[in-house]
Amino acid sequence: SSELTQDPAVSVALGQTVRITCQGDSLRSYYASWYQQKPGQAPVLVIYGKNNRPSGIPDRFSGSSSGNTASLTITGAQAEDEADYYCNSRDSSGNHLRVFGGGTKLTVL
């Protein structure tokens, strides 16, 4: 079982805003990172740290954190944002161990 919990599936209407959440005790201390994965492709980093976007990631992607919950927000979702999204952080033991959330399948309607 994952120490980071994500909703298995979320849907959003085209152009609307959606928030994907990730819960876990370790998130009270460590920032999460977020990855987008489309079918048959390797995951791609979309958000890291407090709210940092790698070069090439549209600014409609943003991140936030409160308590034991990290969130990925897509403002004005596009059809190409339909994908699986995974959060990642340290495990709650504080050791150098890393854990992924179970993933959220985002459907853009």
Q: Which of 36, 63, 82, 101 binds another protein (CB under 8 A)?
A: 101
Q: Which amino acid is at 76?
A: G
Using rule CB under 8 A, residue 30 touches another protein: yes
DSSP string for residues in 9-32:
EEEE-TTS-EEEEEE-GGGGTS--
Give the separation between CA 36 and CA 2, rounded to whole angstroms.
18
Under the criterion CB under 8 A, does residue 85 sit at the interface with another protein? no
Site for another protein in 50-69 (CB under 8 A): 50, 54
Q: Coil, helix or strand for 106?
A: strand
Q: Which residues bind another protein (CB under 8 A)?
A: 2, 29-31, 33, 35, 42-45, 48-50, 54, 86, 88-90, 95-103
